[in-house]
Copies of this chain bind each other. A is one copy, B any other.
Amino acid sequence: MLRLSPRQVRISAMTQPFHPPQRILLGPGPSNIDPRVLQALVKPILGYLDPLYLDCLDEIQSLLRSVFETENRVTLSVSGTGGSGMEACIANLVEDGEEVLVCVNGFFGQRLAELVQRWGGKPIRVEAEWGQPLDMERVRQVFKDCKARLVTMVHAETSTGMRQPIEELRSLRDIRDAILIVDTVTSLGAHPVRIDRNEIDASYSCTQKGIGAPPGLSPVTFSERALEKIRSRKSVCRSWYLDVQLVDKYWSSERVYHHTSPALMNYALREALAMILEEGLEARWRRHERNSRAFVAGIEAMGLKMLVAPEPRLWTLNAVRIPEGVDDARVRSRLLNEHNIEVGGGLGSLRGKIWRVGLMGAGSTENNVLLLLSALQKILPQEGFRIGASGASAAALALGS
């Protein structure tokens, strides 16, 4: 008989093989990843100054510019998740004591206000109910009444599924000059963001939603005007890791070492971006729109309701109101355990009130729409909700049309 020492027992218990099941990820992200993108992760790793790796970074910049729809030179991936990109924008652009207009109608708008505060700024909030669009007239009025030269807005609010029309933001410049920061975490690669046409100065996103890569990087872009504000800061940006000027010195032709670039993550990002351009931005937006509309048709046929009105509704993140008397956690856990399907719960004040259904990147497919509706159709009647018509049939009809 093989006898293990206590130490061996302890180690062998810690090093059991790890075999995660194949989930269908229809939550707020990560989404499922195309095998072609996954395979990029296991390509041979290169050093951070290898000329071939530097070529790969140049390609990423060029591909990212296409997806952000910008000519901004400083367009790159920050070596952290979407949150690090948000912090990079705030930490570099906000100076001590500076007023910042912060549009808040969800969890991530609130987070922006928190970050502005942490980084020494004075957030001036314009708020709307979560899930409701902000009234641009009020935004303009508050902007007029304060001294802010920085404005933040969330394009795609991951906590509510609402899309804020960022096209109107530049009109603030009729009042006075402003640096516009827009969160495109849940829109980039799935909704048009049009950074240049909308005259946005800084934007950050993530890799695991519309882009279709694994989580771990944050695409960001900065206009020349944003960089000028950063270069003329009175005090040095406290963050060294997220100092855009230092990060840019490595990504640009100077190639000054800053930190060891996460090469495999960037391989995957490069592949995901290439797939976006091969599909075509327009075609990709239409795919996301079509699958979201079919899902909504199914949800409404079943007698469920969406949180957000049709017009400002996101295609990526679909927030479904949980019907009275239905147990949020039980339904999500049944979806996970009986069907291997993940959907997200509500954040903050929407906790227990909505399900957040992500149809993003490689996860935005007809099959995922039909499957989730069918699974809900099976589970909900057992959980006390009487279903109207068949959701899957209504979605199939919408997809066929």
Interface: A210 (CB within 8 A): no
List the number of copies, as a whole number: 2
Distance (Å) between the CB of A16 and the closest chain B CB? 8
Which residues on B sit within 8 Å (CB–CB) of A86? 241
Interface: A387 (CB within 8 A): no
Q: Is the interface of A mostly helix, strand, loop or mixed?
A: loop
Please report the C-alpha to C-alpha distance between residue A275 and residue B14 in the assembled complex, in whole angstroms.
Answer: 10
Which residues on B sit within 8 Å (CB–CB) of A295? none
Distance (Å) between the CB of A48 and the closest chain B CB? 7
Distance (Å) between the CB of A121 and the closest chain B CB? 11
CB distance A260 to B82 under 8 Å?
Answer: yes
CB distance A119 to B238 under 8 Å?
Answer: yes
Interface: A30 (CB within 8 A): yes
Interface: A81 (CB within 8 A): yes
Interface membership of chain A positions 337-354, coded 1 if the CB is closer than 8 angstroms to chain B and 0 otherwise? 000001010010000000
CB distance B14 to A59 under 8 Å?
Answer: yes
Which residues on B sit within 8 Å (CB–CB) of A45? 20, 23, 25, 30, 32-33, 214
Instruction: Please report which residues of chain A, range 251-284, place their CB below 8 angstroms from some CB of chain B when the two chains form the complex.
Output: 257-265, 267, 270-271, 274-275, 277-278
Interface: A397 (CB within 8 A): no
Distance (Å) between the CB of A338 and the closest chain B CB? 14
Q: Which residues of A contact B (CB under 8 A)?
A: 11, 14-15, 18-23, 25, 27, 29-30, 32-33, 38-48, 50, 52-53, 56, 59, 62-63, 66, 79-84, 86-87, 91, 111, 114-115, 118-120, 206, 208, 214-216, 236-242, 257-265, 267, 270-271, 274-275, 277-278, 336, 342, 344, 347
